[in-house]
Each structure stands twice: as C-alpha cells, then as structure tokens.
Structure 1
Amino acid sequence: MTRHEEHGDAEIRVRRRSRTLRIAGLTLATALVLATATAGYAYWHLNHNITSVDINSALGDDRPAPAPAPSASSAAAPLPSGPLNILVLGSDSRSGEADKELGGGDSEGARSDTAMVVHIDAGRTAATVVSIPRDTLVTRPSCPLPSGGTTAVAYGSMFNSAFSVGGPVCAVKTVESVTGVRMDHFVEIDFAGFARLVDALGGVDVTTGQDIDDDKSHLHLKAGPHHLDGKQALALARTRHGIGDGSDLGRIGLQQLLVKALLEQISGTDLLTDPAKLYQVADAVTASITTDTGLDSLAELTSLGKSLKGLSADHVKTVMMPVVQAPSDPNRVIAKEPDAQDLWESLRR
C-alpha cells in the first residue's frame, strides 16, 4: 500500500471516529435534556400533588405559645433541630369513593377516625405519638369557617366532630384547646392514599396479639406475624368490631402497632438507591396529604424529613391520652385528670 493510500485510510478512520463521537455526544446531550425534563416534571408533579390550608392566618394569635426558639448555635445549623408538634389526622374526605372500595363507609362527608399528636423532642432523635380517641367528649371551641362566620361553642361534643364541622382549622383549634399545646404543623392523610403508600413500600410486617375477625372492615387475621398489603393495612388501622369490646380504644392499639411497623419499614428501605421506587413512594405521600402552609412544598417536606434522619423507630413512643368512661354516656370517654394534663405538660417542656 502506498503512502497516499495509507493517508487516505487514516483520514476515513478519523472521519468515522469524529462522526461516532458526534453521534454519542448528541445522544448523551439528548439523554441529559430528557432526564432533566423528566426530573423537572417529576418535581413539579409532586409539588402540585400537595393540598394545603393556611391555619396560622385562620387562627391568628389566640393560641398556645409556640415552643421556645432554638439557641443561636442551633439556629446556625443547616437543618431545623427544635422541638415540633404535628397534628396528624386520618381522613377519607379527599377520596371517598376510593375509601369506600377499601372497606370504608359511605363516601359523603369529611370524617376523621384517627387523631395523633406527634411530639418530636429537641434534637429530633426521639418522639412521642399521642392518640386521642375520637369518642372523647370535649368542649369544641368556636372556630372560623372558610365561608365566613364562626361555629358556636359546643359542650360535651365528640372530639372528631371538630373536623366534620370546621375542617382542619377547627381540628387544630380543638386540639390546642384540649391540650394547651401549640400545633406547629398539621397533616391530614387520606385513607385511600395511605393504602397506596403501603403498597409503594412493598407492604408492611406486623404481628397481631389476637385473632381479628371483622366483616365490617373486611379483615380476617389469625394471631401472629403477617405481611400486609395496602388494603389490609388500612383495614387494620380502621378495624374495631373484631377486637376487644369493639370500642375505639382497641383500634388505637392497632393503629399504634401499625405506626411503629411503618417506621421500621421505611427505615429499612433504601429508597435512595431505587429512584423509581422513591418516586412511587413520594407520589403516594404527596397525593394523599393535606398540610398547613408550612409544609406545602416538596422542599419543606424534604427539609423536615432530613431533620428526622436521626430518629429511629426504637425511639418513638406511642401512648394514648388517658381517658375514663363518660358519666353521661357509657359509649363515650372523657379525659382522665390529672393524668391527661400531666401528659400534655410533658410535651410543653
């Protein structure tokens, strides 16, 4: 082969490599653009999933004092570390039809069968979850209504009526009136969305201490360990007729068992190594919650989540507000004093 021919072959190889590199570069650039666009849409979608209520503006200053502000050194930390109180309600008000298919009641109206005050200690390495029985008789304060005006004060009213009458704002005001504890945040979890979350996590493992046979919640379990899907986990959170005396108090025990099991499931799932599963879980969470305006963005929820990275399920204590049978109605309860106030006082320290 002559030098001229060798030189020609070399030029052809260079052109081919150049063309290959250009194609690879265009392919990579296209992939990066698509990935960026996909990530941007995913963030937008998750952000717009969240529904919020401006509770602070609705309630104004007639509330318990907030927790003391962190010291200067704590305030300089990249993540918040002060104590936090969050009212968590379980409700079927955002997707009644889906809830009905999952074993709930009729799809009309806004109902809250689960109420928990989640207190996170300063440092955010320990937490106490206090369940408030829905059948507790309380004095429901006058609450502002979204349409204008206010509700009347109601004496001897069932605790969960606050949500039915005045929505999240009245639920928060009633809890603060009963406890004397300022609620820093509010989270309402839709029951149907809760089932989606459990499914997105791959189910949850629980161990029941007795047989559960409840046709109303469509749950039938023998005592012992079980791996539950979303529908079964939701039924476990709602069942009461198949356990104990059929009251709300027995159901609270199962809800607390489920809370601990879910925390263990989440902490044991490395979502960061599985982007598809992470998105599925995030979509289930954001689509199923209503929050106050302090938690109504993906950035704020992410910041809260990061601040709780040192909190393990082993350091989460679940309790129920101390109650006794109401003198006026054997099917209702009232706060047991001074035990109940002692509990709330411990959360104000």
Structure 2
Amino acid sequence: MKILNKYTYLFLGILLVSAIVILNFIPNLQTEEFDQEVIDDIIEGVTTTTIASPNNDNLNENNESSKQVDELVLTEDQISDIDKILMYNEFEKEIDDFDVYLLIGSDERSEEIALTRGQITGKRADVIILGLVNKNSQEITLLSFPRDLLIKNNCTGSLERINAAYAKNNCGGRAENLAAAIYSISGIRVTNFASFDFEGFEEIIDSVDGIEICVDKTQKEGFSFELQKGCQTVNGLTTLNWVVSRSTEVLVGEKIIDSDGNDTSEWKPMPGVSDLTRIDRQQYVVMQLINELKNFTSINELSSFINALENSFIIDENLSINKAVEILWTFRNIDLSNVSKFTTPVDFLTLDDGRQVLVLNDTIHNFLKSKSVIDS
C-alpha cells in the first residue's frame, strides 16, 4: 500500500507540474471559424450578398494609404474585355497532395504604428502567403499572392483586389472568403490559417530580439526607418516599416550630417518598388523567423515567443494548440536552402484613373508545374 501511495503521489506530482507547464507555456490563442462547407458554398455561389464590404472605409490620413481605396475604375475597353483580362483566374484542376497553411497579415494597426503608416478603418489582407507542405516529400513551398491581384469576388460578384476579399459578410468570415477566392483562382484548398495585424507582426519580431536584415544600399523611408548598407539586427517596428514601404529611398554617395545634426545627404527613390518588392521582403522575414526557431534551446525562450503569439495571432478553430506548437517545432529542423519561394505570375494593368492592379499572366497550375512544385 505504501508503495502504491508512493507512485501515486509521484504520478500526481508529474501531472501537476505538466499542468503548470501547459498553462504557462502553451498559449490560449484566439480562434475563428473556418468551415470548409461555408467555403464551398462561397466558391459555388450558393451564398452571395450585395452588401458592401466593410473594407470600403474612408482613409483618414493623406499619405500612401490614402491611395489604397477599394473601388476600381476600369476603362470601357477593360470592362468589355474583362473575361480576357481574367482568363487565367480559373484553375484547370484541383491541386492536392499538400497540407496548405494560409498566413494572413492584415493592415489593421495601432495608434503608434498609425503615426508612421497612416490610420485606416477596416481590415484588408496586406500579406497573403500559402505554405504548401508536400504530404509525401515534406518539401515546403511558399507561394505569395500580391494584395493588388485583380479577382472577381465569389460572394459579391464585384471586381476587386484580392486583399479586399478578406471581409466578413453574409457569405462567411474573413478567412473563409479569402480562402474561397484563393481556391477559385488556383485550385488550392487551404487546410488551416493564421492571421496577425501590424501590431502583432511587431511583437513577434521583438519576441526574438529582432531579426537580421541585409541590404546592398543604405535606404530609408521618411522618419519611419533607415537601414545602413550591409547587415543589421532591427526591431519589430523597423522591420514592419521596411516590409510595407512603398516609398523607399536610397542614399546617393556618402552620408552627410551638418553641424546641427541634420541629414543633408542626397537621396533618390529606389527604382522598381512595388507590391512585388513588398512580397520579397515579406518572404525574407518569414524565412528569418523560421531560422530563429533553431535558436530556442530553453523553455524560457520558447515561452517568450509563444506569449507573443498568444497576443498577436488568430488561428482557425480546427487547428489545435498542440498542432500549432508541433508545426513550429517541426520548422526548427528545416533546411532553409530547400524552401522554395514564389509569387503568383502577374502583369501590371493600369486602370482608367491611372492606378495599377495586377492580373495573372498564366494559370497557377501551369506556374507551379513549371517550378516542379507539382508533377501534373
């Protein structure tokens, strides 16, 4: 009896310690509905709405964000040729054999971040990245969708940028509508999703004490960030401002600071900065964060990172906490050189008001086949 009690107490002690560890180190992440039946109904047009998207909100600052309005103004020729323009927005067949994780970064922002990036109301998907994990080979591919990609919304029937599909309406939730849009143009069915906002992005970077960014030229955007030529470790806010920058400038010649401490150097706009540039930066940061997972060697380091996730991430209700943590730990063993990174194939299309959107110039199926991501 005494032996039984001894082992009973030992078992209860282990159970108690395990419970304490779980309560302290496994986050209680926020969850949202992600119903495949709802997504299918959106795709098939079973559920529709004419209610304006809540993303059609006014922008409050006269800066770069003020150009990001949702209403698109097409020329008469573009309207008549819309089927031709969107000819690659239909998939040939479903792309399966992958576990597909959708990473969504919304442009919702805190007051502090709004000081440098501008204040907006509503949410749009500023980052749209699919993580494709081959079920057989376990090879990983990152596939980014530009936020300015032109689509026809399954739910509303309207022409819009894909970032505006991230809207909650009568058809479904934000992630459900976006997943339906992705499937409709690619044949890729999202398994699970995770989303974060600007503040969450900043907190995640800070939780790993910043990431290393390397640039070939000294560059800046106003007072929001400045990166020196070479490599440097930067915090979350600087990383965020670099990733989303549309008005990056590069230093011409040597940097000059006058006697009053003012920067009198010559700066010029960085050529070719676009939505695609931002995607390159987004993928760079994702790879850096994956690389940081290898540095977690203690429970305290893991706790710091997961605590940031708890406050910053929303995951779908079908993705258990244990599964999310398992995925993170699996990523610790990834050889980053074997991770493929792509952006959907696109061309620029200039609208009637001079603004630009992006349109597919090939089917995503053909593109992934050409990159040996899929066989047929």
TM-score of the superposed pair, with normalisation by structure 2: 0.67
CA deviation after TM superposition for structure 1 residue 307, in Å? 4.7
**Residues 119 and 347, structure 1, Cα contact 8 Å, conserved in 2:** no
- Find the aligned partners of 2:201 and 2:137 in 1 and give their Cα distance: 24
Amino acid in structure 1 at the alignment position of 2:151 = V
Is 1:135 equivalent to 2:148 in the alignment?
Answer: yes
Amino acid in structure 2 at the alignment position of 1:219 = F
CA deviation after TM superposition for structure 1 residue 56, in Å? 2.0
CA deviation after TM superposition for structure 1 residue 66, in Å? 7.5
- Higher Cα radius of gyration: 1
SS of residue in 2 equivalent to 1:186: strand
- Find the aligned partners of 1:33 and 1:86 in 2 and give their Cα distance: 33
Q: 1:148 aligns to what?
A: none
Is 1:262 equivalent to 2:289 in the alignment?
Answer: yes
Out of 34, 38, 54, the residue aligned to residue 58 of structure 1 is 38
Q: How does 1:60-79 map to 2 (within 5 A)?
A: 60=40, 67-68=96-97
CA-based RMSD: 3.1
SS of residue in 1 equivalent to 2:102: strand
Q: 1:237 aligns to what?
A: 243
SS of residue in 2 equivalent to 1:205: strand
Is 1:89 equivalent to 2:69 in the alignment?
Answer: no
Q: 1:279 aligns to what?
A: 303
Count the aligned residue pairs: 289
Deviates more, 1:174-183 or 1:325-334: 325-334
**Residues 84 and 119, structure 1, Cα contact 8 Å, conserved in 2:** yes
- Find the aligned partners of 1:339 and 1:40 in 2 and give their Cα distance: 45
CA deviation after TM superposition for structure 1 residue 259, in Å? 2.0
Specify every segment of 5 or more residues in structure 2 that has no aligned partner in the other structure, as ranges. 1-9, 45-92, 249-269
Q: 1:335 aligns to what?
A: 359
- Find the aligned partners of 2:38 and 2:373 in 1 and give their Cα distance: 24
- Find the aligned partners of 2:113 and 2:175 in 1 and give their Cα distance: 19
Is 1:219 equivalent to 2:243 in the alignment?
Answer: no
Amino acid in structure 1 at the alignment position of 2:96 = A
Question: 1:314-334: per-residue Cα shift (whole Å, max 9, x none)?
Answer: 111111111111154563233
- Find the aligned partners of 1:307 and 1:37 in 2 and give their Cα distance: 23
CA change 1:56–1:339 in 2 (3 A) is closer
SS of residue in 2 equivalent to 1:252: helix
Specify every segment of 5 or more residues in structure 1 that has no aligned partner in the other structure, as ranges. 1-27, 69-82, 143-151
Question: 1:29-73: per-residue Cα shift (whole Å, max 9, x none)?
Answer: 9x98985564243257x1x233222332422465785835xxxxx
Is 1:205 equivalent to 2:222 in the alignment?
Answer: no
**Residues 126 and 311, structure 1, Cα contact 8 Å, conserved in 2:** no
Q: 2:85 aligns to what?
A: none
**Residues 211 and 234, structure 2, Cα contact 8 Å, conserved in 1:** yes
- Find the aligned partners of 2:326 and 2:310 in 1 and give their Cα distance: 14
**Residues 181 and 347, structure 1, Cα contact 8 Å, conserved in 2:** no
**Residues 186 and 363, structure 2, Cα contact 8 Å, conserved in 1:** no
Q: 1:179 aligns to what?
A: 186
**Residues 290 and 331, structure 2, Cα contact 8 Å, conserved in 1:** no
CA change 1:275–1:306 in 2 (3 A) is closer
Amino acid in structure 1 at the alignment position of 2:243 = A
Percent sequence identity is: 20
Is the helix fraction higher in 1 or 2? Answer: 1
- Find the aligned partners of 2:360 and 2:29 in 1 and give their Cα distance: 40
Q: 1:253 aligns to what?
A: 280
